[in-house]
Every structure is written in C-alpha cells, then in structure tokens.
Amino acid sequence: MAISRKKDKSPSKPTVTVFDREPPQSIESERAVLGAVFLDPEVFSRVLEIFNNNVENIFYYGPHQIIFEAMFDIYQTTQDKPDLKAVVGYLETKKRLADIGGISYLTELYNSVPTSANINYYANIVLENALKRKIIEICSETIAKTYEAQTPFKELADETEGKIFSVAMQRRINPIYKLGDFVEQFVKDMSDRFESGEVLTGISTGFANLDEKLCGLQSSEMIVLAARPSVGKTAFALNIAHHVAKEGDGVLIFSLEMSKELLLQRLICMEGKIDGQLMRKAFAGKRVIADIVEASGHICNLPIYIDDTPSINIIELRSKARKHLFANPNVKLVIIDYLQLMNVHRRGENRQVEIAEISRQIKGLSRELKIPILTLCQLSREAEKETSEPRLSHLRESGAIEQDADVVLMLYQDKKEEKESKKLKDPITVHLKIAKQRNGPTGIIDFVFHRRHQTFLEMSGFFEKEEESSPDEAYIDEEESAI
C-alpha cells in the first residue's frame, strides 16, 4: 500500500491524505505529547520509556516527527532539557525550522496543553498507532513479495513472522524499579522458603549433587551442556527431562539431531532399564516386548513435547516455543539439541557471527519465557587433544556461548577411561564439569553412565576447585571465625 502525505499550508491544522485509505493515526495525541514535553521537559524520559527508546517513524505527521527527533537529539547529546527554547535553537541550526511551520507552530503546541499529567495516556495512543502502521507496512511488503513469487514460502513466512515479532516486542514496557518497590516481596519469598525447608530455588535435575551446586535449573537462565560427540550429552539431557516430567512439570524438546522416534526409544530404555541394542534388533524375546509395552505405558502420559524439525532457524524456534508455552503453561524447561545445528534467518558474515546471534537469541528467549533453557553444544576437536579436562575455550565456533550462558556444564571422559570404553565396557565413568556458574561454585561431579539403557547415576562426592569456594561455605567460615 502506497502512502502519500499532503501538508496543509496551516501546520496547526494538518491534513493527512493517503492512497486507498487513512492509516491509523491521532494528530491530536501527537500534539498533546509534544506540547506536554514543552510544558514540562522532565517528562520526556517517560515518553522514551513508553516508546521503548524507539525514535524512527513514531509520529505520523511529518513536522511532529521532526520536532520529536530534535527533542531526542537534544536529550541524548547535550545537557540541555528539550524545552521550547532548545528545540527552536536546534531546528534553526539544522535549518529545519520552516519545515515544521516556524516558531509560531511550536508556540501553539506549547499553549495547547494545560498540563503534562496525561502524557502517558497520549504517548500510548501515539505508539499504538505507530505500531499498527508498521504492521501495515510489513504486510504490504509481504503481499508484494508473495505476488512476485521469487521468495520460497518458508523463508517468506519466517521473515514476516520475525518482523511482526520485532514490532510486538516494541510494545513491551520493562519499567525501572526502585529497590524499595520489590525488596519486601523478595524478603518474604526468602523467609517462606527457609520456613518450609525448601532447598532448591529452581527445577530439580534429579541429581542430588548437581542440584546442590546449582540450586536447581534457575528460571530465565541459559544452561549450556557441552561435550564431544557420543559422550552422552543427549542422554544426560533426557535424564533431566525424564525426571522433570515425572515430577509433573512439562518439558519442550527441540531435537535437531535425532528423530522423535529415537528419543522415544531412549526414554523407553531409560524407564524400563531395557538394553537399547535389543530394541534395534529385528527379533526380541517375549519378555523384552513385555518390558517395552510396560515402560511405554509408564511414559505415554508424561508431559514431554518434542519438535524434531531439522535445521530449524532461531526465529522459527522462538515462535514455536512462545506459542507452545502459551498453550501449555505447565512447561517449565526447554531443551535444545543442539545449538550448532541451528540456522539463522539471514546468513551472517561467518559461522561464528551466526552462532553468536543464535546464542544471544536463546538467552533472550529464556528471559522472555522466564524458564531455564538447557542448550546442548559441541566442544571443538581441541578438547580431544588435551590430556586433561575440557575448558571454556573449547566451546565450538563462538566465544559468545561462554559469554551468554549463565551456567556451562561439560561432560567428558578421562583419556584412559575413554580407551577402555571403546572395548564396549559398560557402565563407564563420565565426569561433569561445572565450568561456569554466575552465582555459584565451579567443580566436577562424577557419574556412572549405563549406555545400554541411557541412564546416568551420580557417584558420591563433589570435587570443587581449590581457588573457588561456594557462597554458603564462605558464609559458614565467617560465622566460625566470628565465634
């Protein structure tokens, strides 16, 4: 849809004409916002908060947009308030005063508002109309591209959905809180938890030592589980998913590597302690079949949801996750298997840039959905060359993963144990390294991995790094020294 604007000679009574029909707009609300800022420049920060710091094409009437951009430049680049005098001086310097109808129109805006008390109301109307116009623009572009028939449907749908999502995000207002606004509720929640004896603040993984060190999987956190191929990262994630679902919470799994049937097979093996190799054979004894049927009955009603779309892009994943959690609010954990198999909407300069974008989007999604996202990740081949444990620098293709993740877990085997495991030894010893944790200790937990039925069991003990100490242990030491 082509939109054209025709300015009236009298800028105080602007007339906006459009081709086909009038787009959403409210000239009076725009005047009220600008006039309120002139009346009380202190409220400009509130306007920016409502607009989510977006400046481009917020105001429909051209002169109003020029005035608003002048206010923004003054506010951002100088110490002056965006009052009437400052805006006049700015527009004179830029030689744009005539474009907005001169000083007389600015004065008229100043005199048109008796108070700035209602600025939130009018600013929200301005934003609402701006976003509606943006939706019209996006849909018009989509219609044009659809008629051209040069863009594949999937790419066109993903592109449109991504653009509409970005518009929807502009409508979200995240207020800035003063400590006093939420400290009372925080203390109450902490007191209730201590009185109830609740240990975990997050979702239990089913592994006592890991839960103790992480306090469970925390909401709004991106947890990375990294390993070399065939070490057991998918199995470890499924163990966690199985436990979470058994506790009654839903789990959404995006499986880019394995089909839903293979994941189901692993879950059945896990539930019934069934040898996975037997399930792959053409003939299985009656006892095995009976065990499979029994285990299937136990897990068929578990709230585990699987999307096995291969090579899913991050925009599509975010959209699916958002829709699924809206329809299934019982979902408390999302698992992505695995990060390096994902694509971005548009090709980046190189794969590292693309992985960095994917990582950033996953972190943003965890905060948006307010649930933990367990993201599986491959370690680089450099990790195999090392004789000791893997390091954060071994995260494959991007240091952004290390930066974005709140927790980084690494599964690995000792070199000697790895050689022995190639002789089909089962179970095997696998080490889980907490390589990074923003709010807790790092260290190593030992596990026994039964590969035949894909089950992990913790070995007793947790080996903490000497240079690191857990916050609760440090607290105890301080109490003892005080005594």
Q: Which residues are catalytic?
A: 257
Cα angle, residue 239 at apex, residues 378 and 226 outer, rounded to 5°: 15
| Cβ count within 10 A of residue 382 | 12
Q: Could you tell me the strand order of the sheet in which 331-337 lies?
A: 304-307, 250-255, 331-337, 373-378, 222-227, 407-412, 428-437, 443-450, 455-464
Q: Are 424 and 409 in contact (CB under 8 A)?
A: no
Distance of alpha carbon 123 from the chain centroid: 28
Start-to-end Cα distance in the chain: 77
Name the amino acid, one letter, at 100: I
Best CA proximity match to 37, nearest among 10, 17, 58, 16: 58
* 407 conformational bin, left if phi > 0, alpha if psi -120 to 50, beta if neither: beta
Best CA proximity match to 15, nearest among 60, 55, 70: 60
DSSP state of 185: H
With H, G, I as helix, E, B as strand and everything else as coil, classify residue 459.
Answer: strand
With H, G, I as helix, E, B as strand and everything else as coil, classify residue 284.
Answer: coil
Query: Rg of the Cα trace of the chain?
Result: 29
* Neighbouring residues of 465: CB distance < 8 A, sequence distance ≥ 6: 441, 442, 443
Burial annotation 265-290 (CB, 10 A radius, 16+ → b, else e):
bbbbbbbbebbbebbeeeebeeebee
Sign for the pseudo-dihedral over CA of 400, 403, 409, 415: positive
Q: How far is CA 72 from each of CA 51, 172, 240, 339, rounded to the nearest angstrom?
A: 12, 20, 49, 39
